[in-house]
Structure 1
């Protein structure tokens, strides 16, 4: 059982992204996880969840901040995503990596710290689409989501892999407060 930590966009935009993703037959990413911006990948987020109290404390000490979504871009030819801009996001990512304490190999494998590129994945070739599908999808995404929204991040979502390659909400953690939403 693995975990990831992400930022969930406002519900209306999340639904818009899902609707867009489902326009491409065979795009199974919607069965894997909801649209989100990965804050911390799996490395160091162990099954025993000893890291979770540290993540809660980090969230409590972090004030809400804004992020700006941007134009579609690619990781190689296999992943299409919406770009994300936010100075505060990098600092929170670094804090999450610190509290999870992944190995250097995990940091490298999950492109964290100096290799961290904030993004919201739209499609992957590993989830049912071809490279050509992603090429065709990019201009459609640019048209669909422009003007790209900005939104306030006031919570972090911890996801748990409940079945192989399927991540669902474990817990929401409010930023800047001690409250927790389940």
Structure 2
């Protein structure tokens, strides 16, 4: 049994619901609630020894603002909402450096210099069969609809980060722990 974790930032509840309603038009079941990825799986081991390090980093970071923006693509097969926040980059770098994943894991999960904060809307192919794949046409349709249905894109205060754990029975990432910023 493989236990996977990652760390994300959750938009305000009403916007999470709005994105989930939007996604359900194309995707039967998403593998996780809408979130901004802060730290991918690399180095987040099942023993959870990294958790204390993440808590220490978060204690020393003040709450900050994040703005969601227009849809963009990774390649041509992952559609996401863009994210703007210098503080988010700083928090990402501090957490990655504290956890110290291998260079290979940093590259595999596009961290540090390759980090692009984002809120995924849909993917052409999902790994691990966690969700329903979309066609390229479906992604194009989703992009057009997002510009109408998900605007205005919100700006919001981040005062906690969420650690997600993969529930292998539900085939979905669920909340494991919320860690508040600034102690």
Q: Structure 2 length normalisation: TM-score?
A: 0.92
- 1:139-165 C-alpha deviation (Å, 9 max, x unpaired): 110111222110000000000112175
Measured in 2, the distance between the counterparts of 1:87 and 1:130 equals 33
| Equivalent residue for 2:13, pick from 11, 15, 27 | 11
Contiguous gaps of at least 5 residues in structure 2:
126-131
Q: Deviations over 1:26-74 (max 9, x none)?
A: x1452x1000000000001011100000101111111000000000001
Match of 1:163 in 2: 168
Distance 1:54 1:16, change over 3 A: same
In the superposition, relative to structure 1, how do residues 44 and 28 fare at CA in structure 2: closer, same or farther (>3 Å)? farther
Distance 2:38 2:103 in 1: 17
Distance 1:29 1:79 in 2: 16
Query: Secondary structure in 1 aligned to 2:69?
Result: strand
CA–CA separation in structure 1 for the residues paired with 2:53 and 2:110: 22
Unaligned 5+ segments in structure 1 are 178-182
Which of the numbers 152, 157, 161 marks the counterpart of 1:147? 152
RMSD: 1.1
Aligned counterparts of 1:50 and 1:28: Cα–Cα separation in 2: 35
Look up the match of 2:71.
72
Q: Which residue is 2:124 aligned to?
A: 125
> How far apart in 2 are the matches of 1:172 and 1:29?
23
SS of the residue corresponding to residue 128 of structure 1 reads coil
Task: Give the secondary-structure state (helix, strand or coil) at the position aligned to 1:134.
Answer: helix
Shift of 1:166: 1.9
- Give, in whole Å, the separation in 1 of the partners of 2:181 and 2:6: 17
Tell me the TM-score normalised to structure 1 length: 0.92
Q: What SS does the aligned partner of 1:77 have?
A: coil
Runs of 4+ in 1 over 3 A off after TM superposition: none
Question: Does the 8 Å contact 1:29/1:123 carry over to 2?
Answer: no
Q: Tell me the SS of whatever aligns to 1:47.
A: coil
